[in-house]
Amino acid sequence: MPFRKDFLWGGATAANQCEGGYNLDGRGLANVDVVPHGPDRMKVSAGKLKMLEHQEGYYYPACEAIDMYHHYKEDIALFGEMGFKTYRLSIAWTRIFPKGDEAEPNEAGLKFYEDLFKECHKYGIEPLVTITHFDCPIHLIKEYGGWKNRRLIEFYKNLVTVLFTRYKGLVKYWLTFNEINMILHMPFMGAGLVFEEGENEEQAKYLAAHHELVASAWATKIAHEIDPENKIGCMLAAGLTYPYSCSPEDVFEAQRKNRDNYFFIDVQSRGEYPAYALKEFERKGIDVGMSEEDRQILKAHTVDFISFSYYSSRCISTDPEILAKEMSGNAFKGVKNPYLKASEWGWQIDALGLRTTMNELYDRYQKPLFIVENGLGAKDAVDENGYVEDDYRIDYLRAHIQAMKDAVELDGVELWGYTSWGPIDLVSASTGEMSKRYGFIYVDKDDAGSGSLKRSKKKSFDWYKKVIATNGEDL
């Protein structure tokens, strides 16, 4: 049997993309609540932020999303029916600390997640909690400049201390920052970074990233002190960049692109800045303000496991003619790989790439892996009973789970679990819309915000249930 007996099968969501209730029970606003639709989605200027905050229409439909805030019992029951062993969810920072810098947490927010975790345990579901899934309180952005300011480390330490203390015994698996490398590719949505006119953006991104990395190491220390049972993971938006050709220039460029992403995990897993990054910072005059204490904390408190999302591989060329045909697959830019098909949104489908990625990560870090996001975003055609024949989704997942099985069985990778993205339909991060769906469970809501919010099972629901029941034997 390739998978361990206690293999953690499940699904993953993020607070902002499913909860709704954006202003209920004391919750404050975060960057993720005001991300604009359209071309400005990935990057927001300081002037724009002021405007966004006052325009509710901009962040629709995430403000209601699928209203899991009120439907979580029903949703967790459905996860239980599928046999989930784990459910990955994120905590909205602004439910716990509405502004981010308060001394005392908001009890209503703490209670909401406590009830939710207890509900999971009723079904034998182990919560896997992302502490921040892209979200940063608006107040911290406006008052302090967000993660560009070292003080955010203190606020984050405060947040995690509250969480680890309150949820001791209820939660054991934690991720510090969702897709930490996305700060480079979508600085506003990924980390709440806004830039002033003429600001050196690269310097700002790496400074903010350094603060997140130090905060993550502190969180690891605090988690282990509060409960030695706690397991802390980093979280990478993974997916290798391939060279378009075997020209040494293309190969080198692909390595460079991959290192942009590995950089974060190199620090979180090995505890120090890699040589290539130090040299590049030196060349570019980037100063992250590393103190001796930072150095020590990074070195002493590395993560217990490596988690990552995988949707597709990417491809890069140095040939200007090929580059001219660059396709923009949302946040990641690259060229089309002629050997692969792509989803409607240009995400190239590459199941074997998952096995290659797993091998790369395991060779590089030699720590257990956890796949915490994988799936196919697609437009579903629903019948009058709320049923969707989503064979395309089953095909995608089957091929990826097979590749993951091969990595474990044939290559010896240690893998703790697999949570597919969006087991229930939710709001898409990159488009801000409902119509890019990932779920085994359909939610009646459209891009214009109409719909009953009724949940119904798609064909893939029973398929995934069988996969879990047979521990991945029957795909």
Question: How far, in Å, CA of 156 to CA of 154, rounded?
Answer: 5
Nearest to 403 by CA among 363, 358, 470, 351: 351
Under rule CB under 6 A, residue 179 binds ligand BGP: yes
Q: Which residues is 45 bridged to in the sheet?
A: 195
**248-266 b/e (C-beta count within 10 Å ≥ 16 → b):** eebbebbeebbeebbbbbb
Question: How far, in Å, CA of 446 to CA of 444, rounded?
Answer: 7
Rg (alpha carbons) of the chain, rounded to whole number: 21
| Residue span 57-76 as binding mask against ligand BGP, x where in contact by CB under 6 A, dash where not | --------------------
Interface with ligand BGP: number of residues (CB under 6 A): 13
State the sign of the Cα–Cα–Cα–Cα dihedral 422, 267, 229, 110. negative
Question: How far, in Å, CA of 183 to CA of 191, rounded?
Answer: 6
Query: Closest approach of Cβ 89 to ligand BGP, in Å?
Result: 12
Q: Which residues is 30 bridged to in the sheet?
A: 137
Query: Closest approach of Cβ 373 to ligand BGP, in Å?
Result: 6
| Residue span 115-134 as binding mask against ligand BGP, x where in contact by CB under 6 A, dash where not | --------------------
Looking at the Cβ atoms of 298 and 434, the one nearer to ligand BGP is 434
Encoded tokens for 104: 């005392």
| Residue span 352-391 as binding mask against ligand BGP, x where in contact by CB under 6 A, dash where not | ---------------------x---x--------------
| Residue span 1-20 as binding mask against ligand BGP, x where in contact by CB under 6 A, dash where not | -------------x--x---
Query: Closest approach of Cβ 378 to ligand BGP, in Å?
Result: 10
Query: Closest approach of Cβ 388 to ligand BGP, in Å?
Result: 17
Under rule CB under 6 A, residue 192 binds ligand BGP: no
Active site annotation includes 373: yes
SS3 annotation, 290-337: CCHHHHHHHHHCCCCEEEEECCCCEEECCCHHHHCCCEEECCEEECCC
Under rule CB under 6 A, residue 178 binds ligand BGP: yes
Query: Closest approach of Cβ 292 to ligand BGP, in Å?
Result: 34
Question: How far, in Å, CA of 208 to CA of 335, rounded?
Answer: 29
Stretch that binds ligand BGP, among 61-69, 114-122, 271-279, 428-436 (CB under 6 A): 428-436
Stretch that binds ligand BGP, among 48-56, 60-68, 422-430, 439-447 (CB under 6 A): 422-430
Looking at the Cβ atoms of 273 and 421, the one nearer to ligand BGP is 421
Question: What H or E segment, with its residue span, contains residue 348?
Answer: strand 348-349
* Residues 221 and 292 sit within 8 Å (Cβ to Cβ): no
Query: Closest approach of Cβ 443 to ligand BGP, in Å?
Result: 14
Q: Which sequence positions are flagged as catalytic?
A: 373
Please report, as ranges, the residues that interact with ligand BGP according to CB under 6 A: 14, 17, 178-179, 237, 309, 373, 377, 421, 428-430, 436
